[in-house]
Copies of this chain bind each other. A is one copy, B any other.
Amino acid sequence: MVTSTAIQLEPTGTPREEVESVVVRFAGDSGDGMQLTGSQFTLATALAGNDLATFPDFPAEIRAPIGTTFGVSAFQINFGARKIATAGDAPDVLVAMNPAALKVNLVDVKAGGTVIIDTGTFSDRNLKKAGFGSNPLEDGSLDGYQVVTIDISKLTMEAVKAYGLSNKEALRSKNMWTLGLIYWLYDRDRETTTNWLRGKFAKRPDIADANIAALDAGHIYGETAELPGGMHGYSVLQAEITPGLYRTITGAEALAWGLAAGAKLANLRMVLASYPITPASTLLHILAGMKQFDIVTFQAEDEIAAVCAAIGASFAGSLGVTSSSGPGIALKGEAIGLAIGVELPLIVVNSQRAGPSTGLPTKTEQSDLYQAVFGRNADAPLVVLAASSSANCFDIGIEAVRLATKYMTPVMVLSDGYMGNASEPWLIPDFDSYAPFPVAFADHEQIGAEGYLPYVRDEKTLARPWARPGTPGLQHRIGGIERADGSGNISYDAENHQRMTNLRAAKINGIANDIPLQGVEQGNESGKLAVVGWGSTYGPISRAVGNMRDLDHDVSHIHLRHIWPLPRNLGDLLAGFDQVLVPEMNNGQLVTLLRAQYLVAAEPLNKVNGQPFKIVEIEAAIQSRLDREFGEAK
């Protein structure tokens, strides 16, 4: 919501309107560099002291034919002088680099919003490719918007003429021209982008220069040209942000670093075994570049081999990690069951995407909770964690390592495509402030009268000891057939199976005592309505609850990061609310778990169109629940 609050004077004397927050979407062809533009703008905005959130939206095709709607790539950013929770429901400003980008994105723009259009691309051919029957610049389609038409293509060509690039190369700077204009619009500093361009094109200084010239030209255009549509500059004040050192971080980065940090705290080598799949591959790519952290990455022949190699690595005394997305996780189910049976640490990262089956690989969804909690043969409990934001992935990564190694158990970490790709500002923690939890491998002291017993448990955690092959005297054999309590030898004994089944369940349930009590993110600890979320719905729920609370509604936000076991106070907490609403980007999964566990009449709010919730959608749902309650009270 853009709220004008004051008028400032530009250095040049032009007035700059002060706004509290803005949503800008850059949209163009896959080849137009919209993701780069977006991330540069994100950085400049962070440096300007705003809070922010982003939503990159990639096309499904690798490189669709130029100018087609299915080749449109977009990047949305919401930034402001206050806490920003989501990438924004609807853009205040849409930058459309071609007709297809306009076609796909216009519907989302807020009524009366600004649409900046590169008219240089609005040829008949491109209009047709985008599926326009007539030219939207002329047929009234844009009525109701502030339309700013600029021939950005032409202006860019002019700006970079001096550098003797080919037409094609020259046109590639269009995005920088546009970025320059938007920098002017929101009063951002160009320096980091200039430096970044110099670094990126270190081997082609002519291209670096051309891009910088385009960036400057766009900026100057804003300063000097009389802008169409009466557009003028804005300023967005700094947000109140906890002081400290910041960076932007995507969920994939945060998770990779969190896992590396966890391995360090556990004093273990990490072996990540994975098989590429969108959107999970990024984690593999990042960790593949971190070999100096004693991280082994292994691109296996498939997901089954990946999880098995990870379990093998854990058997050998390293931290085995595997990562995939829904369909790949499905393939890992059998092997995860083995890890549960042999009780070895294992981390399984699921970057969820829309399904079922191949589904919509580039679209987000959080529909793998059932699979995480229930998706294996037999009684096979494990730990399930869900990160609530890009930055939260760091701490979730560490928590996963802590629980996996302390309890000798697989831990499933749920992330999603949205969170993985979206970046947000992150107050960089001091790693030295994290308490180490080094693994104490079994040693010769564990050798008793009957030799080493790999299934004698720690009384408190119920974890079995971890003996590293290579250690003299601790030779033992484990496997997927039921193991005798104590020795771990094959046992077909009926009562042993009952006991081991109970122990496996008790071990996982007991972890509830080693995780934080469930807190309330916003609002009271009891009341009329609790909105219970998990995962990347954090942003829209927190803003929606915040907005409704600002309107004096009695609603609280509870957000789960521990999905299994659930926090031990959760049942009591939920019992304190008249109604419980569970928004999920699936057809209702956490809600099933809560109803079954606590017999609480939790209601689902589902959305499965591959897009994150809009704040208004959750606000509306809250309103309707509160209305209903009033209705009943009458």
Contacts and interface: CB of A to CB of B under 8 A. Distances in A.
A612 to B, nearest CB: 11
Nearest to A365: B378
A626 B604 CA distance: 35
A363 B461 CA distance: 29
A240 interface: no
Interface string A462-488: 000000000000000001111000000
A403 B587 CA distance: 23
A276 to B, nearest CB: 16
A378 to B, nearest CB: 3
Interface in A168-207: none
Interface string A564-602: 000000000000000000000011010011011101110
Contacts of A441: none
A367 interface: yes
B330 A607 contact: no
Interface residues of A, number: 69
Interface string A542-579: 00000000000000000000000000000000000000
A481 B378 CA distance: 30
A609 interface: yes
A371 B336 CA distance: 13
Query: Which residue, A480, A481, A608, has most C-beta atoms of chain B within 10 A?
Result: A608
A334 interface: yes
Interface string A382-421: 0000000000000000000000000000000000000000
B611 A494 contact: yes
Interface in A355-379: 355-363, 365, 367-368, 370-371, 373-379
Interface string A489-516: 0001011011001101100000000000
Contacts of A60: 492
Nearest to A600: B599
Contacts of A304: 331
B359 A481 contact: yes
Nearest to A381: B587
Given A371-B374, A377-B330, A379-B355, A360 B599 contact: no
A327 B377 contact: yes
Nearest to A70: B492
Interface string A323-346: 001111111011001101110000
Query: Which residue, A333, A367, A592, has most C-beta atoms of chain B within 10 A?
Result: A333
Contact of A379 (B70, B356, B375): B356
Contacts of A365: 378
A610 interface: yes
B609 A497 contact: yes
11 contacts: A325-B377, A337-B356, A357-B481, A358-B480, A359-B481, A360-B481, A360-B492, A370-B375, A371-B376, A495-B609, A599-B601
Given A342-B357, A379-B589, 17 more contacts: A326-B377, A328-B334, A329-B377, A331-B334, A337-B356, A337-B357, A340-B357, A354-B378, A360-B481, A363-B492, A363-B497, A367-B379, A368-B377, A371-B378, A497-B608, A498-B609, A596-B596
